[in-house]
Amino acid sequence: MGTGNNKTYSDTDFTAGDSPATLEILEDMGRPGTAGFLVNDGSADIQVEIEDAAGNGYGEAFNLAGGEALDFEPKTDLIKRIKLTHIADSAYRCVVK
């Protein structure tokens, strides 16, 4: 368990064998994430699910299209983990603060 200011995750070759990828923010940082971003660097969609730190489970799944970015604005719903599911071969970067 870490206590750093931010955590970076990436996969430049996100394939079916890597799926689902669970970004364990709370476990890795020692606290929930408060802000950051997720970028789909590939050409295919990636399915995204975000779980808040309040224990409400994952929110509704959505697709992040190739080339799209999602910003995590500072808010009261802190991020516990993010699950990424392969739809077709792609790539991603994520930084959480």
pLDDT tens, per residue, the chain with 97 residues: 455 689 999 999 999 999 999 999 999 999 999 999 999 999 999 999 999 988 889 999 999 999 999 998 876 668 999 999 999 999 999 999 9
Nearby residues of 17 by Cβ (< 8 Å), 6 or more positions away? none
Is position 14 within any domain?
A: yes
Q: Is the pTM of this model over 0.85?
A: yes
Rounded CA gap, 19 and 21, in Å?
A: 5
Q: What whole-number distance in Å separates Cα of residue 23 and Cα of residue 34?
A: 14
pLDDT for position 44: 97
Residue appearing with tokens 């799926």: 19
Q: Does residue 2 belong to any structural domain of this protein?
A: no
Total domain count, the chain: 1
Q: Which range marks the domain in which residue 27 is found? A: 7-96
